Structure 1
Amino acid sequence: MKNKILKRSGIIAYSMFIILTFLTIWSCKKSVSPVEVISEDQTKPGIVTDVRVENLNGAARIIYKLPQSPNILYVSAKYPIREGYERESKTSFYTDTILVEGFAKAGEYDVTLHTVSRANIMSDPVVVKVKPKTPNYILVNEGLDITADFGGANFYGANPDKSPISVHLLAFDPSKNKFEEKDPEYINGGIVDVSLRGFEAVPQEFGVYTTDRFGNKSEIRYSKLTPLFETLLDKSKFFVYRLPSDAPLWPGWELRYFFDGSLNEPGWHTQDAPVTVGTFGIGPSAKISRFVLWNRLPGMYSFQNPKSITIWGSNVDQPKDVNLPRISSPGDIAGDWVNMGNFMYPDPPSGLPGSQANASDNAFAAAGINFRMPSTAPPVKYIRFLVNQTWGGLGYTNAMEISFYGINQ
């Protein structure tokens, strides 16, 4: 028995010796990496040469030739974008171009270029003069058309570079004798179309300025105008205008209950259909400013309740039926119908998943969700309410009530 124990102890000791020997050899071996971030070469790298500059809106693209050195890791560019604030851009040795951006205004700026080695040794500086054009955020602000809108003002214009910007809206508060700023609107598309509403149809003072992601801020533009009068469209003049491609209905849950002024059941409830559509007239032609939607209680964020919506409209006296596309953009035309806007029902304010919405989330939805109609939407006499997606992802839908605001033409 003693011999067996000694033998086993010898095997364990020998195994430990082999492991320790392997670890020692492995730890002494120099690390090999295809990137080779760490280097013992303390040689100062060469500078970039043959520098060319392409000036852009609020930015510049610098093209250069790298020195013949395998030890270069990246190129650094340091530059001021406004008084008291400097940025640094970096790009790897795999490219011969670096973008410097965020300049507050058009003008001439010095950009200092360095090559940096894998040992973090910097080359001698190369100073390049760039002359960025007027930044996009300024172009956007200067190009905005400020016009009277329903209950307020509309700010419309192009975002030429489609760069992310924030549009800040202000309104003068006589009780405080100062301009109050509303929550900014974040834009990253090609069009700015935002409105400030909730004001009476008497002369009001508004303001707007834009900012970019680099902390730059434009001048404030002011405008005094009278908001357009907005009213709740008379739902007693609404009527069902059923078309062949409208979705079949659940017994007892007819489309007329969707605009009967009641939040009690029944509402509008369809059966399975390739596309869920309900069509109705709204009486005289009207320019619609917004609509309010009430989903079905208590699960406003689940089941068959609408989540993705497209409003199609027509100003023809008796518009004909057409199979509406599931994917379209505002302004697209299908037969007698025009896409007035695509809308997404907001997520629960709590941040919870729809199926876990709490009492506050439900109270928020139960008050009705407002959807602003794009200012470019034309006057219409008929509405086709298209549900692209429900919260449950089902092939049918239900909703309790809808109201439209605007003004009759």
Structure 2
Amino acid sequence: MVDLSLKNFYYYKKMDRNKFISYYFGLALALLTCSEEKVRPPNTGAVPLSPANVSIRNLPGSAIIHYTVSDDYTSYILAEYETKKGTIRTTKSSRYNDSLKVEGFAEAGIYDVTLYAVGEGEKRSEGVKIQVAIGEPPYRSVLKSIQLKATFGGVLLHVENPDTAALRIVLLTKESGNQKLVETFYVKSQETTLSSRGFESVKREFGVFVRDRFNNLSDTIYNKITPLFEQQLDKNKFKELNLDGDFNTPNNSSRSRLSNLWDGITGNGNADDLFATIMGHGFPQFFSFDLGIKANLSRFKYFPRSEKCCAYKNSPRFFEIWGSNVASGDWSHWTKLVDCEMDKPSGSPDGEYSSEDVAYVERGIDYEFPVGTPPFRYLRFKTLEVWASGNIAIYELTFFGSESVD
């Protein structure tokens, strides 16, 4: 028992100050140590009790199982289940969680799942057998939503993915009677439109199937499509304009100049190979250039910065493309052709990027001009807003269409 009498207090008052502080610090620590503390029993290798109070929430392609850990000898909860004939999966969850997810099922249906509590030495409790009613897996339902349509130079794929499952959309085509892989797209957003270009305006058969991260494969759907005619405009004919109101002052001692937008470099991490304006001008800001010909425009491809540090920083997010046949800074001579928005497929917060986001910017972003857009020679790129910066930076702009004959 600790004596806290007045006599002892005066005794310690005469002690050296540091010793006095050390004494009472040690005293407080001793009192705390003596307090009752609930600790986990020593792990003796006992077989843990089975999980209790099991409940199930069924989902498309998966199920969430809730449970209660029955004793302190449990290290984790283990679920064993068959996702398709001959394929056994296991899912583990810490004893500090109250649920786990079973997933990877190939088809909708009733599946058996066995839950175990696992302790020291991987000793398992008696299994708790349950059944889950799995809904249609997303890789199957998403395939049903896919629409294949002709576009300039290729095909569009409209995809609906309401469960935001991580999937791969695989596009195929037939050449000389053989299947050929065209492109694989990674998707996780609820709804997206994908495109694949570079085809002649000749009818061909395209196919598409869906694969999930558990290597489940859907059937393949086919459609015969004739891509709309277009050709890439010759960038050697492009020229910079300096019209009234244009802002194209480079950010990097003239190396990040406007002409970098048509040098063929779509992203290499080198700031000298992109176009970037100096900071502080504000928005909106715009620049103009000459295509060298009067063109019927079908679409353009926008290559923002693709480095993770900057892709969603000073890349134009909301912008407009204007056309004119008069090289004048007077806006009365200009016609707005299209409103554009740079997307972030994952929808993740600032500073976070998914694989889908990175692939989206590296591939380049396509924007189509409305059907019936009249021919123009001069274009103006007007930035309304960037993601998070005071200037703009773009690697490349590529335009498609055909030369006007009028």
Quickly name the TM-score band, shorter chain normalised: 0.5 to 0.7
The answer to whether the Cα contact below 8 Å between 1:308 and 1:342 also exists between their aligned partners in 2 is no
Alpha-carbon distance between aligned partners in 1 of 2:127 and 2:108, rounded to the nearest angstrom: 24
Match of 1:39 among 36, 43, 48: 43
Aligned to 2:167: 165
Q: CA deviation at 1:167?
A: 1.3
Measured after TM superposition, the shift of residue 371 of structure 1 is: 2.8
> Aligned-pair distance for 1:269?
7.5
- CA, structure 1 residues 383+270, in 2 after alignment: closer, same or farther (shift >3 Å)? same
The partner residue of 2:320 within 304, 310, 313 is: 313
What letter is aligned with 1:341?
M
Cα 1:225/1:123, change in 2 over 3 Å: same
One-letter amino acid of the counterpart of residue 315, structure 2: I
1:234-256 Cα deviation digits (max 9, x unpaired): 77798848574734469999988
SS at match of 1:182: strand
Distance in 2 between the 1:147 and 1:202 partners?
Answer: 14
- Stretch of structure 1 that moved more, 193-202 or 52-61: 193-202
Q: Over residues 322-374 of structure 1, what are the superposed CA-to-partner deviations in whole Å (9 max), with x where a residue is unaligned?
A: xxxxxxxxxxxxx997334369xxxxxxxxxxxxxxxxxxxxxxxxx973415
* Cα offset, 1:211, TM superposition: 0.8
Deviation digits for residues 248-277 of structure 1 (CA, Å, limit 9, x no counterpart): 4699999885789999xxx97855544595
CA distance in structure 1 between the aligned counterparts of 2:259 and 2:106, rounded to whole angstroms = 55
Give the secondary-structure state (helix, strand or coil) at the position aligned to 1:137: helix
2:78 and 2:57 map into 1 onto residues whose CA distance is 17
For residues 91 and 256 of structure 2, what CA distance do their matches in structure 1 show? 61
Match of 2:298 in 1: 287
Structure 1 pair 245–139 and aligned structure 2 pair: CA distance change class (3 A): farther
Give the aligned CA root-mean-square deviation in angstroms.
4.8
Query: What is the CA distance between 1:163 and its match in structure 2?
Result: 2.1
After TM superposition, the structure 1 = structure 2 runs for residues 149-188 of structure 1, keeping only pairs within 5 Å, are 149-174=151-176, 177-188=177-188
| Equivalences for residues 1-400 of structure 1 within 5 A | 39-42=43-46, 44-67=47-70, 69-174=71-176, 177-233=177-233, 240=241, 242=243, 244=245, 246-248=247-249, 270-274=277-281, 277-280=285-288, 286-290=297-301, 309-310=315-316, 312-314=319-321, 338-341=339-342, 371-374=364-367, 382-384=379-381
SS in 2 for 1:72: coil
Contact kept in structure 2, 1:248 and 1:273, CA below 8 Å = no
| Amino acid corresponding to residue 320 of structure 2 in structure 1 | G
In 2, Cα distance between equivalents of 1:115 and 1:268: 59
Task: Determine if contact 1:199/1:227 at 8 Å carries over to the other structure.
Answer: yes
- Which whole-Å deviations, capped at 9, do the CAs of 1:140-161 have from their partners, x for residues lacking one? 2221111112222121212222
Q: Does the Cα contact within 8 Å between 1:77 and 1:114 map onto a contact in 2?
A: yes
Aligned residues: 321
- CA separation of 1:248 and 1:310: change in aligned 2, threshold 3 A: same
Contact 1:310 1:339 (8 Å CA) reproduced: no
Question: Unpaired segments of 5 or more residues in structure 2?
Answer: 1-38, 266-273, 345-361
Q: What is the one-letter code of the residue matched to 1:280? A: S
TM-score scaled by structure 1?
0.62
Aligned-pair identity in percent equals 24
Aligned CA distance change for structure 1 residues 340 and 80 (closer, same or farther; 3 Å): same
Is the CA contact 1:285–1:315 (under 8 Å) kept in the aligned structure 2? Answer: no
1:259–1:104: structure 2 CA closer, same or farther, 3 Å change rule?
closer
Displacement after TM superposition at 1:398 (Å): 9.1
Contact 2:299 2:366 in 1 (8 A): yes
